[in-house]
Amino acid sequence: MLLAELFPYANIVYNVLTVLYFITVATVVIVVLSENRNPVKSMAWMLVLVGLPLVGLVIYLVFGRSLKGVTMISRSSLRQLRRRNDFPEPDLDTLQLSDESLQLISLVNSLTGPQLFTGNDVKVFDNGQDMVDAMLADIAAATQYVHVQFFIIENDTVGHQLCDLLMEKARQGIQVRVLYDYVGSFHFSSSLLKQMRKAGVEIHPFLEVTFTQFANRVNWRNHRKVVVIDGNVGYIGGMNIADRYVTGEKGQRPWRDTHLRIAGEAVAALQYSFAIDWNFTTRSLLTSPTMRYATRPTSGTMMQLLASGPTSRWNNISFVFFKAIALAKRRIYIQTPYFLPSDALLKAMQSAALAGVDVRVMVPRKPDSRMLRLATGSYIKECLLSGIKIYFYEPAMLHSKVVIMDDDFVTTGSTNFDFRSFEHNFEANALVYGEEFNHQMAEAFLNDQQHCTRVVLAHWKRRPLIQKALESIVRLMSPIL
């Protein structure tokens, strides 16, 4: 009554807003249905929209929308970038690889276009100090340009080491370009950012989140870690730029992770990936005649680079993971900090284990997120019942992202084994073919296994009831964690 006296049109405004709200919700429901998503996911979103007035709409606007079909770069720009890479495609029939690996190569070619790089020297880093030392040395030796892209660049000792060196190279006249994820590097120092730009470093955040564009951007993060130096040397993997990978933090041991240094043809693919993200962020195209894209060793490790993201027609990396698991005849070893598989991937792993394939999954005992720890725990019983072996890595946070199949396929990069990496993040993985590299990575996995505790089903069933309940509740949020 008082409100009506103060504002005589309050009822009319309320009724109009109510009608507009329900029209909006109905429109969103129609959009969800028209996208033809997984029926379970579509039903879940409709329940959220209808069952949580206003809040459900906000949640959907931030986390529920699809970017399928959104163009990151024009076709003409893509053609210009592709012309920079004129390496001849090898004849797959002449490669000494298993039929399973040849199928994976064909799958990637279908997803991204023909690309297999046969001449590469690959060095594996399993600790942050060695990786950072090597990367800084390569950057210090740069004579033309340095391209750097990380999800996280922390405002700490390691972060300042990298930024100081990049500023020094820029002052020397070297072209230095840096991309960082706005959310992942939210604490990146604004004063340091100004210093870098003043020194001549071209540095930009990927999908900067503003108040007016919060819902449009906050859920779509660039999780890639790519470095290209003079077109001859590149880095890709799971490590970010932070002290926790090198010296540890809060009295903890350094995080265990995996990163690759690549010299050879595949650097062209790293450059191509960086160039697309750079064009998306800055609207400038890296096609300078002096921009060398890679050298051409005559022999070496065979590789592909696979990028994936919410704008891709297919969930590229998820497809490759699924195909590798389905093709496996002998073993599948998986390292991941977070284990939240889609229903399809979980069933593929269970089917492989039930068929006699040695399927092992290694996750950290204590990941850096309690919610993700609970969500991971909700999948463990299903895995154990099918014969999948689960290992808890004990010494430190395991941040490594590796999938090893049989004897001649390995993939590693930025992709976690979870919904966010498969559907919401921009990710990049190296796919490496050949027995020597496979055995090297399998040996590293088995060495890590020596520092793990294997989960036993009888013991796992006895965990507290409250933990089981929390795991089940948090699992419902797996697609947006």
- Residues with a catalytic annotation lie at 223, 225, 230, 399, 401, 406
Tokens at residue 11, please?
A: 């009822």
Long-range contacts of the stretch 51-59 (C-beta < 8 A, 24+):
53/21, 54/21, 56/25, 57/21, 57/24, 57/25, 57/28, 58/215
For the chain, first and last CA: distance in Å?
44
What's CA 260's distance to the chain center, in Å?
15
- Nearest Cα neighbor of 152 from 268, 67, 245, 229 is 245
By DSSP bridging, strand 145-150 and strand 175-181 are parallel
DSSP string, 344-377: HHHHHHHHHHHTT-EEEEEEESS-S-HHHHHHHH
Containing 231, the helix (H) or strand (E) segment is none
Tokens at residue 122, please?
A: 């690959």
Do the beta carbons of residue 415 and residue 345 sit within 8 Å?
Answer: no
- Nearest Cα neighbor of 262 from 93, 75, 99, 125 is 125
DSSP string, 447-458: HHHTTEEE--HH
For residue 137, the SS3 value is: helix
Residue in this structure with the two tokens 């103060």, named with its chain if needed: 6
- Alpha-carbon gap, residue 442 to 447, rounded angstroms: 9
Angle, alpha carbons 332-395-458 (nearest 5°): 60
What is the edge-to-edge ordering of all strands in the sheet holding 145-150?
120-125, 259-264, 233-237, 226-229, 145-150, 175-181, 202-206
